[in-house]
Amino acid sequence: MTTDAVLDSRQAWVRLAALVGLATLGGAGMWSVVVALPYVQAEFGATRGEASLPYTLTMLGFATGGILMGRLADRFGVMVPVLMGTVMLTLGYVLAAMATSLMAFALAQGVLIGALGSSAAFGPLLADASLWFRRRRGIAVALAASGNYLAGTVWPPILQALISAQGWRVAHLVVGGVLLVTMLPLSLLLRRRPPALPPVVPRAAGAPAPVAARPLGMDSNLLTLLLCVAGLGCCVAMAMPQVHIVAYCADLGYGVARGTEMLSLMLACGIVSRIVSGLIVDRIGGLATLLLGSVLQAVALAFYLFFDSLVSLYLISALFGLFQGGIVPSYAVIVREYFPARQAGTRVGVVLMATLLGMALGGWLSGVIFDWTGSYAVAFLNGMAWNAMNVVIVSWLLWRARRLAGGAKKPSPPPFIGERVG
């Protein structure tokens, strides 16, 4: 079967369904630590900042592990890192359940669950989805990314129920076992490698670099760096409600269960946002979609400063999910718009690493700021400042893209030399 016949085919959509399932299951590692935060804090007698350390290490591990898993996927196919991640997730949950100190729990979360486990169920899956679609690439990547938010919708109430009934240690053992028996068979559906691309045609010595080697008229590594800085900024802001909404509701007297419900609502709305943003990306491009999501995220953060009643927090959490859900998938689409397919796993991994570092930094900073000030008001303002940095960078990149494209609404950079054109 030719490359063109495989792209956007029924086979590609079946594969995408497997990717979504794996992302939903493997994404448990990002959200279980949020639900367990108040219980772990109470058991080990930690401060809010100290109790945020497991989440921070999980996100740091998730970020750095994404690059490793992306390189493995580029070289051996996506099935290899997913199989490895499944085993590491199970081992991580078992060791977390047996932790005798906060540091032991944090290391199990950061190294096994984050770096070697859940990282395989995000960046490599988004990159793989982008390689099987051309006409519907935006919605395909968005659907693959939605698995992470499906995880945030499904797992928190399950974890909350398990913790309430059996305690957080037993809950972790149950999750580890479930992931092992569900992810292994799904991983085997990814045996086939992506459609083959023709080899790159070597450039004669002294010949000018192809236009796509200088995306947006700049060095490719410089554009990657700018996307990383933008991703860091938007996700420091994103982490504030996602990481601390459960603890915030407990502090306001509404209870942990209400906060867990808000987190699930936020992420459920994020799924809708990711799907809608995928459709938008296919119409206006990744940069414009990223800018739209970032501006709306800032609006939602501002609402948290002025309203804290129970009903308003439910509504704002829903809005926050609707506004920011499409931000992270937009980065993966931007990479595929401006970089060659052979670099998809690695460059998507690098850029998503920056977004996850932002989540880690934002989660930790919010906890520390709370310890300093006794409230989350300054933490929300801190998130808005980081978000503003993202808006500035993305606005400039979009302006540059449209200027170079002669005012076209959706930039269409020429394909990298040697990459097939449809």
Sequence-ordered list of residues with C-beta below 8 angstroms from that of 336, at least 6 positions apart, any chain: 130, 137, 141, 344, 348
Q: What string of DSSP letters covers 359-391?
A: HHHHHHHHHHHHHHHSSSHHHHHHHHHHHHHHH
Q: What string of DSSP letters covers 222-274?
A: HHHHHHHHHHHHHHHHHHHHHHHHHHHHHHHTS-HHHHHHHHHHHHHHHHHHH
Mean pLDDT throughout 381-405?
A: 92
Q: pLDDT tens digits, residue range 90-145?
A: 999 999 999 999 999 999 999 999 999 999 998 899 889 988 988 888 889 889 98
Which residue, chain included where needed, has tokens 């000018």?
Answer: 208
Q: What is the dihedral of CA 59, 65, 67, 69, to 10 degrees?
A: -130
Closest by CA to 223, choosing from 234, 233, 208, 212, is 212
Q: Are 235 and 59 in contact (CB under 8 A)?
A: no
Q: What is the pLDDT of residue 157?
A: 85
Q: How far apart are CA 287 and CA 398, in angstroms?
A: 6
Per-residue pLDDT at 320 exceeds 90: yes
Q: Please, what CATH class does the domain formed by 3-193+212-404 belong to?
A: mainly alpha
How many other C-beta atoms are found inside a 10 Å radius of the C-beta of residue 221?
A: 10
Closest by CA to 300, choosing from 359, 391, 380, is 380
Per-residue pLDDT at 21 exceeds 90: yes
Q: What is the pLDDT of residue 201?
A: 38
Q: pLDDT exceeding 90 applies to what percent of the chain?
A: 44
**Domain chopping of the chain, boundaries:** 3-193+212-404
Q: What is the pTM of this model?
A: 0.73
Mean pLDDT throughout 22-51?
A: 88
